[in-house]
C-alpha cells in the first residue's frame, strides 16, 4: 500500500513518518515509534487503554487515523515524566496504590491529565465521570479516584490519602 508522509510532534519531538492510509494513530505510536505504553485493549474505542492527547485533547488512538493527526502534537504516557522525574499525577498513582496490573494505567493517566489541565480542582463526581471512558478491571477505581483527587489538591490534606503518614517508613 502507498504511504503518505505525515508530521507528528510526539512528546515534544517532531517527526516525519511515512504511514499507510489505514494506519491508526495507535499503530503508528506503538509499531513505528515503539512507544508501547499506549495499549490496545479492545480496538473499538471502549476500554480507553489507548488514550493519548492530540493537541491537548484526549482521543482514542485506536479509532484515530494517523492521517487525521498530521501536524498535531501527541502526548503519550511516555511523555508525562520529565526524564526520570515523575509528574505529580504519576507519583500520586504510585503513592495511592492506584496501579495493579497496570494495563489501563497509561490511558487512565492521560485521561486524568486531560481533566486536570481543563479543570484543576474537580470534585469526586466530576472526576469519576471524566475517568469513565477508561476501564479498569483490577482496582474498582477507588484508589485511582483517590490518586487523581490528591494530585489535584495535594495541599488540601486528601482525607483518603494515608500514604504520607507512613509511606516509605522502613524504620
Partner 1 sequence: MTDYSIIGKRMPRVDSRAKVMGKARYTADLKLPGMLVGKILRSPHAHAKIVNIDTSKALALPGVKAVVTGADTEGVKWGVFAYTRDQQFIQTEKVRYIGDEVAGVAAVDEETALAALDLIHVEYEVLPAVFDPMTAMTTDAEPIHEEFPNNINIHVNIDTGSVDENFKKAYYIREDTFTAPEESYFHGEPYAVAARFDADDCLEIWMPNGGPHMKSKPLSNAFKIPLHKVKVRKITIGGAFGGRSEICPADYICALLAKKTGCPVKIVFTREENTIATRQGHAMITTHKTGVDKEGRVLARETTCYMDGGAYSSTGPIATSVPFLSMEQAYRMESVRYNGYRIYTNKPIRGMIRVHGRGFACGLDTQLDMIAEHLGIDPVEMRLRNSRQPGEFTSTGSQVWSCAMDETIKKAAAAANWHEKFGKLPPFHGIGIGTNSVQTGFPMGIRGGSQSFIKFNEDGEATVMSGVVDNGQGNENMLVQIAAEELGLLPEDIHLVSADTETTSSDPGSYSQVSTFVGGQAVKNAAANCRKKLFDVAAKILKTDPDKLTAKNRMIFVTDHPEKSVSIKKTVRVALLNFTSVNAEGGYWPRVDMKREWVSNPYGQMCEAFSFGTTIIEVKVDPDTGQVTVLNAVACQDVGKALNPLVLEGQFEGSVAMGGQGGMLTEYHDWREGRCLNPTMLEYKVPLACDMPEITGIIVESVDPRGPYGAKEAGMSIAMSAAQAYAGAVSNAIGVYMDSFPLTPDKIVAAIREKRQAVK
Binding site for partner 1 (CB under 8 A): 30, 34-44, 46-47, 49, 76-78, 80-81, 86, 90, 93-97, 99-106, 109, 127-129, 131-132, 134-145, 162-163, 165-171
Q: How far is the CB of 4 from partner 1 (least distance, A)?
A: 17
Kind and range of the H or E element at 27?
Answer: helix 25-27
CB of 55 to partner 1, least distance (A): 20
Q: Can you name the residues that pair with 65 across neighbouring β-strands?
A: 24
Please count the CA atoms within 13 angstroms of the CA of 10 that sit on its side-chain side.
24
Toward partner 1, which CB reaches closer, 5 or 170?
A: 170
Cα 29 to the chain's mean position, in Å? Answer: 14
Judged by beta carbon, residue 31 or residue 71, the one nearer partner 1 is: 31
| Residue 48 grid cell | 480507553
Pairwise CA distance, residues 38 & 104, whole Å: 9
Q: What three-state secondary structure class fits 59?
A: strand
9 versus 36: smaller Cβ distance to partner 1: 36
**Which of 71, 81 has the CB closer to partner 1?**
81
Greatest extent of the chain over all pairs of C-alpha atoms, in Å? 62
Q: At what angle do helices 88-95 and 105-118 cross, to 10 degrees?
A: 130
We find the least distance from the C-beta atom of residue 33 to partner 1, in angstroms, to be 12
Rank residues 4 and 42 by Cβ distance to partner 1 and give the closer one: 42
Amino acid at each position: 500500500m502507498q504511504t503518505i508522509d505525515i508530521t507528528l510532534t510526539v512528546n515534544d519531538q517532531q517527526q516525519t513518518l511515512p504511514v499507510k492510509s489505514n494506519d491508526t494513530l495507535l499503530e503508528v505510536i506503538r509499531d513505528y515509534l515503539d512507544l508501547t505504553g499506549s495499549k490496545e485493549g479492545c480496538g473499538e474505542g471502549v476500554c480507553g487503554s489507548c488514550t493519548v492527547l492530540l493537541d491537548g485533547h484526549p482521543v482514542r488512538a485506536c479509532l484515530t487515523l494517523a492521517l487525521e493527526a498530521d501536524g498535531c502534537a501527541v502526548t503519550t504516557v511516555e511523555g508525562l515524566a520529565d526524564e526520570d522525574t515523575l509528574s505529580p499525577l504519576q507519583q500520586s498513582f504510585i503513592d495511592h496504590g492506584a496501579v495493579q496490573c497496570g494495563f489501563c494505567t497509561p490511558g487512565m493517566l492521560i485521561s486524568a491529565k486531560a481533566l486536570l489541565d481543563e479543570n484543576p480542582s474537580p470534585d469526586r463526581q466530576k472526576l469519576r465521570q471524566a475517568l469513565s471512558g477508561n476501564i479498569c478491571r483490577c482496582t474498582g477505581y477507588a484508589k485511582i479516584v483517590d490518586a487523581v483527587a490528591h494530585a489535584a489538591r495535594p495541599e488540601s490534606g486528601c482525607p483518603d490519602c494515608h500514604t504520607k503518614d507512613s509511606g516509605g517508613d522502613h524504620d
